[in-house]
Amino acid sequence: MNYFCFSKMKTISRLVLTLLLYMHVKLFSQESLNDAAATLKIESDPPLAKVVIDGQEIGSTPLRIQLKSGKKMMELQLDGYKTEKRIIRVYENMIKSYQFRLKKLDVNLSIKVTPFDALINIDGKKYLNKNEFHLSSESHLFLFEKTGYESYRKHLYFKSGDRQLEISLEKKSISGAFIRSAVLPGWGQAYQDKHNKQYIFPLLFASTSIGTALSIINYNNSVDIYNSAKFNYQYSFKESDVNFYRNQMEESYNDLENAELMRKFFIISTISVWLWNVIDTIIVPPKWQDEILISTNLQNNRISTEFKFSIR
């Protein structure tokens, strides 16, 4: 029995020693590998580029990694930029930094705008009768304008390659001008490019509105003065006081009538200016109305000519 226990303990001791020896060898070999590994620091301009080594994604720049020695294929990828590829040789205990300046990809942009003679503005540069553009792959500010049409303004981003953009401008409508003038006098005239009236109507409306406000204040004061004189007249007992307050009441009544006339005048004037401003957007056509018709006819003739040419 004692022999059996001793043999069992001996076997367990051997297993423990074997396990300890294995762990020691494993740890030593791992430390040796770490000591022999190369340290690489990878940066890019712009940052956040995806780093791929031998087809395996490692991370994003800026990045610090350790690699085993050997020949490696390093790639940096970022949307809108050309992929950078570089073959590197990694040696044991090597410490090295890699810096990449990524190049933007180009965009060949074809723009079709209706009407065809609309002004194209890209990042502040104006183009007329031009449809093909060579741009960098990044966000650009586009502005399309044409007299008599609603302008279109927006930041747009295009990926590299051949791209197409179709824009159709909407014609300015009478209803749009009507609503604008109903909300704010002169706004509809500005919408219709009536440059003089867009200033005249706001000034007239502001003047009559101020006159209306002042006349209402004056009318209310006149009412208070008249009521005060009337009260004093009704409760006076001396003949001299009665005569005095009667005269005061008559004068204040005349002032009240004048204040009422002024109040009505300014209220009617304000309403008249507002109505005139609204009606003007309907009955007085903008100058560019004929230009729209000419532009439309030109475009139709152009399309017709191209169509006939294609048949031949």
Domain residue ranges of the chain, discontinuous segments joined by +: 37-103, 106-172, 175-285
| Single pTM value for the model | 0.52
112 contacts 131 by C-beta, under 8 angstroms: yes
Please indicate whether the domains covering 37-103 and 106-172 agree at the CATH topology level. Answer: yes
Tokens of 248: 């005061």
Name the average pLDDT for the chain. Answer: 82
Percent of the chain at pLDDT > 90 equals 37
| DSSP 8-state secondary structure symbol assigned to residue 66 | E
pLDDT of 183-237, one tens digit each?
Answer: 999 999 998 888 889 999 999 999 999 999 999 999 999 999 999 888 888 888 8
Domain range 37-103, CATH architecture = Sandwich (2.60)
pLDDT of residue 238: 83
Instruction: Encode 40-53: b = buried (16+ Cβ within 10 Å), e = exposed.
Output: bebbbeeeebbbbb
What is the band of 7 on the pLDDT scale with cuts at 50, 70, 90? Answer: low
Edge-to-edge strand list for the sheet holding 95-101: 63-67, 38-45, 95-101
Tokens of 24: 């020691």
pLDDT of 235-261, one tens digit each?
Answer: 888 888 788 888 888 899 999 999 999
At 255, the amino acid letter reads: D
pLDDT of 289-298, one tens digit each?
Answer: 655 555 555 5
Of 228, 264, 268, residue with least CA distance to 245? 228
pLDDT of 37-77, one tens digit each?
Answer: 788 999 999 898 999 999 999 899 999 988 888 898 999 99
Distance between CA 235 and CA 245 in Å, rounded?
10
E strand segments, the chain:
38-45, 50-53, 56-60, 63-67, 70-77, 84-90, 95-101, 106-114, 119-122, 125-127, 132-136, 139-145, 152-157, 161-168
pLDDT of 104-115, one tens digit each?
Answer: 878 889 999 988
Instruction: Encode 200-231: b = buried (16+ Cβ within 10 Å), e = exposed.
Output: bbbebbeebbebbeebeebbeebeebbeebbe
Choosing among 2.40.50.100, 3.30.1360.120, 2.60.40.1120, 1.20.120.80, the CATH entry for 106-172 is 2.60.40.1120
- Helices (H) and strands (E) in the chain — how many of each? 6, 14
pLDDT of residue 240: 81
